[in-house]
Each structure stands twice: as C-alpha cells, then as structure tokens.
Amino acid sequence: MKIATVGKGGSGKTTIAGTLARLLAGDGHKVLAIDGDPNPNLALTLGMARDDADNINYIPPSIMEMKKDADGNLKLKMTCTEEELIKNYSASAPENIDLIVMGKPADGSAGSGCMCASHRAVRGVITEMSAYGEFTVTDMEAGLEHLKRGTAANVDTMLVVVEPYYRSLEAGARTASLSAELEIPNIFVVANKVKTEADRVAIDQFCEQHELSIIGYVPLEEQFIEAERQAQAPIDFDPKCAGTKAIYEIALKLAELDIEKRSLQPLPDKANAYARGFSDAKKEACTKK
C-alpha cells in the first residue's frame, strides 16, 4: 500500500505520517518512509537523532530521467536500481524503517523557485519503489500545487489531514477532489487536533456534505506539543497517549484494507504489538489502583 499524507500547512501531515510509519513498522510490516517535502522533517518524527537526520543524503531529482521504452514512448525511469537507491540514499530509522528524503529543488533551479524536477522525482521514486516493502508512507508538502503536477498520482491511499476549522476543511475538500481526479482509489480524511464534541460534529457535517470518508479522529494531544518542545518524536515521548492510540487505530484500518486488497494473512506474532502494549498499560494501571 502506498500511503501519502496531504493537507494544509501545519495540519499535522508529518506528525501523522511519521507516527503511522512507526506504528505499522512496530507491528512487523516493512515500511519505506519517503519525505517528499522540500523542507524535510520526517526523520525527527520517525525518532531519528538530530545528528543522523542532518547526515542523510538527499535524493537528487536527477535520479529520474526520461527514457524511451521498447515502443518508443517516453517514460520516466530511475537511473539506478532499487537496491542502489536504498544503499546510497536511505537512512535507517527506528523499527527497521528505511527513510529516503527527496528534499531540495532541482539542480540548476536555484533562484527560479522551480520545483518541477523535484515533483517529478518524488512521483517517479514512489512508482519505482512500489514493490519495496509492504507500505510506503510519503509525507507531502503543503498545498495543492504538487498535486496538480501529479506528484501523488502513484499513491493508492491518500490521507487528507484536516483541522476542525473551516479553511482547513475547505482545503481538505479541494485536495480530496483533486486526488479523486487523479483516480486515487482510497481517499480518507484524518480529523486532527479534535478538541471538543463541537469540533467533531463540525468535521462530521462537513465531510457528510462533501461525501468524504473519515478514517479516524486524532485528539488535540498535549503530549505531541510537549514532544515537539523537547525535540522528540511523539511516539517516543509518549507511546501510550490518546493521540498515538488514535493514529494506531488508523494504522490497523489501513493494514486491514491492505490485507483485503492483497489477500494476505494477518501477521501472526508481531501484529498488534502496540495494541497489546495498550492493553498491558491498562492492566498495569488497574493493578496499581
């Protein structure tokens, strides 16, 4: 399954993508995380140390080039093999996650602000790496410009992250309709930073009107804010908080969808490791009382 997080600036795309990747990997799935934001910061949310994150080799847009196929049609092709890409550019994040960072604008485009080659590279790498691991989780840049360029066209599951206020919801609806134009099969809203019942009702009503399907509600989580203050990954700062638990429920739904789609058997041992963690924590709390 190729998942991407999209949405308005600051809605929580990186928080959701990083935590989701960690939770899926913690359940024993092989995960490739892709930072597709020109201002990359997924590494820290995945739980990498700042020094390691600073030493990651960004993937140059020149990794993709146009080549003619056997029928003479121009196709975007990777200039190295999957293995070489992972060997030369991937960083190792906790839970055996491979992280690749697309980052920087195109070579030679300094000052022009042109991101075409970068967007093309993100799109190409997602397609080429689709056979790698069970899940790719791509953290996209904010806004719609890259969607118009089709950056996300090779994603199969779009998570549109929205906050409970009108402009964020409006942006979410526009993103979802562009994703639908790109014929992305699974488009879900993640309702993030939900604080009150009124927030929830506002999101429900908006999504019903716009025929958007909500995959989960993530509360406004103080622990996420504190994790950010202390420069830690939310999942490492407090793996049992309500925010992480809500993202875990989304991870389970996505894993289930993936199993149905690919007719796979659920993982026997490691699956639900975090769910077990949550119930153990509950038991512990009860015994302490």
Q: Which residues bind ligand ATP (CB under 6 A)?
A: 7, 9-15, 37, 142, 192-193, 218, 220-221, 224-225, 228, 243
Which residue among 2, 8, 12, 14 contacts Mg ion (CB under 5 A)?
Answer: 14
DSSP state of 90: -
Contact 176, 187 (CB under 8 A): yes
Q: Between 23 and 218, whose beta carbon lies closer to ligand ATP?
A: 218
Of 239, 167, 224, residue with least CA distance to 193: 224
Q: Tell me the C-alpha distance between 232 and 56, whole Å.
A: 18
The residue type found at 130 is S
The one segment of 6-14, 51-59, 177-185, 212-220 that binds Mg ion by CB under 5 A? 6-14
201: helix, coil or strand? Answer: helix
Q: Which does 136 bind (CB under 5 to 8 A by kind): ligand ATP, Mg ion, none?
A: none
Q: Tell me the C-alpha distance between 117 and 64, whole Å.
A: 9
Work out how close the CB of 190 gets to ligand ATP at its nearest, in angstroms, rounded to a whole number. 10
Of 209, 166, 169, 167, residue with least CA distance to 189: 169
107: helix, coil or strand? Answer: coil
The one segment of 5-13, 83-91, 106-114, 228-236 that binds Mg ion by CB under 5 A? 5-13
The residue type found at 22 is R
Work out how close the CB of 155 gets to ligand ATP at its nearest, in angstroms, rounded to a whole number. 16
Structure tokens at 136: 């790719």
Q: Between 85 and 178, whose beta carbon lies closer to ligand ATP?
A: 178
Q: Tell me the C-alpha distance between 218 and 203, whole Å.
A: 12
Q: Which does 66 bind (CB under 5 to 8 A by kind): ligand ATP, Mg ion, none?
A: none
109-148 footprint of Mg ion as x/- string (CB under 5 A): ----------------------------------------
Work out how close the CB of 45 gets to ligand ATP at its nearest, in angstroms, rounded to a whole number. 7
Work out how close the CB of 168 gets to ligand ATP at its nearest, in angstroms, rounded to a whole number. 10
Work out how close the CB of 5 gets to ligand ATP at its nearest, in angstroms, rounded to a whole number. 7
Strand segments, DSSP code E, in the chain are 2-7, 31-35, 64-68, 74-78, 91-93, 97-101, 135-139, 157-162, 186-194, 213-219
Q: Between 28 and 40, whose beta carbon lies closer to ligand ATP?
A: 40
Q: Between 14 and 90, whose beta carbon lies closer to Mg ion?
A: 14
In angstroms and rounded to an integer, the radius of gyration of the C-alpha atoms of the chain is 19
Please give the residue whose beta carbon sits closest to Mg ion in the complex. 14
- Binding residues vs Mg ion (CB under 5 A): 13-14
